[in-house]
Amino acid sequence: MMNDTKPKILLVDDDRLAHERLHNLTANRYELHSAYNGQEGMTRALECSPDLILLDVMMPGMDGLTVCSNLRAHPLLNDIPIIILTALSGQDTRLKCIMEGADDFLTKPFDELEMSLRLRNLLQVNRYRRLQNERLRTQWLLDNATEAFLILDEQLAIQYANHQAAALFSLSQPIGIGELVNFQTVVCDYNAEPRGLWDAWLSEPLAKSSQGLHLMLPATTARPGKTLVMRTHVQHDQNRTSILVRLLDSTAEAHAQTLRWNFHYHVAHKLFTPLTGLKAGLQMLEDTAVGKLDQAELEALQIALLSCGRLLADCQKVVDYIELNGTTGSTGVFALQGINALCSEIWSLAGIRMAVCDLDARLLQRALAISEISLTAILVELTTNSRKFSLVGPPQITLRIESSGKDTAILRFSDAGTHIPPEHLNKVWLPHFQAEKLITGSVMGMGLGLSSIALQVWQAGGAFSVKNNDLGKGVTVTLEIPLVKPAAAESLSVQHQ
């Protein structure tokens, strides 16, 4: 079995004696691969990815110069060192080889000592070049990463910090030149938690890799708070030990988790408790109101009771949605048999009378792979935009839901408002892009509506697009949303009823 730690050398030569001589010379130090013509040489080079290629010039068919040119033109082989083997010692031959990209020459028949030295030197240069390329690639990845990375020595002095770490801790670069900076010093403004785990790591940072450490920067009037998740990895290299530190900024995630928890508490306790009491009180009034209230008063009481029950149900939907998406990331489902009722409610509250919802009959028993809360927010946003860009009175809206034939539904939301300038059609889904500022001159909100729609549709595995209508005015927003399996939709319909 071949030893993968040996450098790989490919010899391309039609002279079998040359292969035998090279094998006898290099078998103990190198892994030798053989090809006996130019085309086979290209194939073998792709198969074994050698560290160096020995290439004979004079071969039948594809000669060595052509092979050299092809190797230099191939994106996977163009950086492999090439030593040309030639019985021709003229300057013209050498110049042609240099022009085709050769790195070195040996005259045939080659001297074994000279061959050994040339192979050793060129492989060392190639190894350094490849290591340098790997270093540059790694450096690029680190500098463009969203996380902060540092390398500490055994005394926790910072030896390296990528751009994100330097910006995070206001470190001047390059690191490690001049006065050393200790990691404990740069994080002194942070609270390290859990404290016991942090103290254990500080006492023996080289004992083992750590994870689950948090660095918390408290918020002040002059700066916002920050939450960093810290992981470390101990690396031993000959007589040197380094500590790799990765810091992930989880401020937004921690903030979102806090908001979800607080929201859940306030909805569950601050709203459910009084609403439950209100509903119970209204039910008691209804039970005792017969014969004491006239018809109009009784109808008003029933409307209040119905509205209270509906508000409780809607609050529960919101809580369930926050709970579900905060843990599993599920988008939920929406039975399409309820789309007409949902649209009627949204358009009625928006004061829009000229609106049509047209559902393909084949989709009546199907469900969208998106929650009712998400779909409601999408339709409300699209309706709001239609009102915003309607130049004369309430807009005319048409929502058509059709089957795509590939287990997705196509929702086309069209209005008769203004067109979007063609140069802005590919930008309207970008966060904070505000077409209304360019069209109506007003600046409403933060310009997150269409980008939020696109994000929710993409997260559900769907597609989003916007185009100006071919005839007349207005735009059409097209949403392609996956459908759940018929059995799941049927089960949902039963639960809904």
Tokens matching residue 431: 């966060």
| pLDDT reported for residue 2 | 43
Residue 3 lies in a domain: no
Query: What is the pLDDT tens value at each position of the chain, 497 positions in all?
Result: 344 578 899 999 998 988 988 888 887 889 999 999 999 999 999 999 899 999 998 888 888 889 999 998 888 888 889 998 887 666 777 788 888 888 888 888 888 888 888 888 888 888 888 888 788 887 888 888 889 999 998 889 998 888 899 888 888 876 756 678 899 999 988 988 888 888 889 988 988 788 778 888 887 778 888 889 899 999 887 778 899 999 998 888 777 777 766 776 666 667 777 888 888 888 888 888 777 888 888 888 888 888 888 888 777 777 666 665 554 444 578 999 999 999 998 898 888 888 999 999 999 999 999 888 889 888 988 998 888 777 677 788 999 999 998 889 999 999 887 777 777 666 665 544 554 444 444 333 334 457 778 777 887 888 888 888 887 678 899 999 999 875 544 554 444 44
| pLDDT reported for residue 331 | 55
- For residue 449, the surrounding DSSP H or E stretch is helix 449-459
Residue 316 lies in a domain: yes
Q: Are residues 244 and 306 in the same domain?
A: no
d(CA 193, CA 402): 53
Q: Are residues 115 and 165 in the same domain?
A: no
CATH code of the domain in which 393 resides: 3.30.565.10
Residue 172 lies in a domain: yes
Q: Are residues 133 and 204 in the same domain?
A: no
Q: In a 10 Å sphere around its CB, with 0-12 CB exposed, 13-18 middle and 19+ buried, how is residue 352 labelled?
A: buried
Closest C-alpha among 99, 7, 108, 9 to residue 57:
108
How many domains does the chain divide into?
4
CATH code of the domain in which 233 resides: 3.30.450.20
Range of the domain at 475: 334-496
| pLDDT reported for residue 1 | 37
Q: Are residues 245 and 264 in the same domain?
A: no
Domain boundary among 249, 265, 299: 249
Residue 477 lies in a domain: yes
Q: Are residues 230 and 363 in the same domain?
A: no
Q: Are residues 78 and 198 in the same domain?
A: no
Q: Are residues 53 and 13 in the same domain?
A: yes
d(CA 497, CA 494): 5
| pLDDT reported for residue 337 | 93
Q: Quote the pTM value.
A: 0.50
The DSSP code sequence of 28-86 is: TTSEEEEESSHHHHHHHHHHH--SEEEEES--SSS-HHHHHHHHHHSTTTTTS-EEEEE
Q: Are residues 230 and 361 in the same domain?
A: no
d(CA 338, CA 443): 34
| pLDDT reported for residue 177 | 60
| Residue written as token pair 């039970």 | 287
Residue 2 lies in a domain: no
Q: Are residues 136 and 157 in the same domain?
A: no
CATH code of the domain in which 115 resides: 3.40.50.2300
Q: Are residues 357 and 460 in the same domain?
A: yes
Residue 401 lies in a domain: yes
Q: Are residues 358 and 289 in the same domain?
A: no
